[in-house]
Amino acid sequence: MTETSRTTAIRAVVAAEWAKIWSLRSTVLVLPLTLVLSAVLAYLVGASTANGFTRMPSEMQSRFDPLFITFYGLTLSQLPLVVFGVLVVGGEYTSGTITASLTAVPRRGLFYTGKVLAVLLTALGVSALSVVAAFVAAQAGLGPYRTSFGAAGVPQAVVGAWLYLALICVFAMGVATMLRGSAGPLAILMPLLFLGSQGLGNVPGLKAVTQYLPDQAAAVIMHLTGPPGDPRFGRDLGPWTGMGVLVLWVVLSLGGGYLVLRRRDVR
């Protein structure tokens, strides 16, 4: 196959997967929920912080970071994107349409590449809107304690939050492909991202390991962790090193998904 025909084939599969994504009722429900939750939670956390700022201990006031307030709500608003990443794949296994999909596109690598690109492009778009909405809403809630986009560290944190949401969605997709369904991946990912790592990530005895979990590694660039010297909330990873760890998780997830798709699924 020539390079031109390969590119044409990938575009055709991406277009087909894009059409399938937007024909799903779950897509219409969960993707807007990411945007709404990001904005609403950011505003509520920002407003609550602003109202109680003067009552904070002086030590907390001196360490106040508006970016922590801005992106804290993403720990919850990421969950609809995770559900989306799982259902895009898991729904095909649950309904049995994976057989028809592989019959239409028998080349597993081409099929998987097209699906991954369709999900990634969708997630990047939704993530961009959600992060902008979260930033604007949080600054409105923070009032006199707000920051601006041009302030030191803000552009990096915004880009990091954008990449994090998109990558965690694709990571979830890879897990769903490995487990060939929806229930199993959701049963693992929801506690991991919402309960397990958020709580365990700050336990001193476990932090040495849990800081390398996908969400914890990327939390550094979003200012959701303490300074490096903080014995409880600090992380040993730098901002982009943490993003690199997340990328590695995504690569492993997608690679595992491809191996399962190639070896276990039949046309």
- For residue 145, pLDDT over 90 is answered with yes
For 21, the token pair is 């994504």
Determine how many CB atoms are found less than 10 A away from the CB of residue 103: 10
- For residue 2, pLDDT over 90 is answered with no
- From its phi and psi, is residue 180 left (phi > 0), alpha (psi between -120 and 50) or beta? left
Q: In 3D, which of 65, 97, 2 has the Cα closest to residue 221?
A: 65
Average pLDDT for residues 236-252, to the nearest whole number? 94
pLDDT tens, residue by residue, 92-140: 988 888 888 888 898 999 999 999 999 999 999 999 999 999 999 999 9
pLDDT value at position 202? 63
Burial 126-136 (b: 16+ CB within 10 A, else e): bbebbbbbbbe
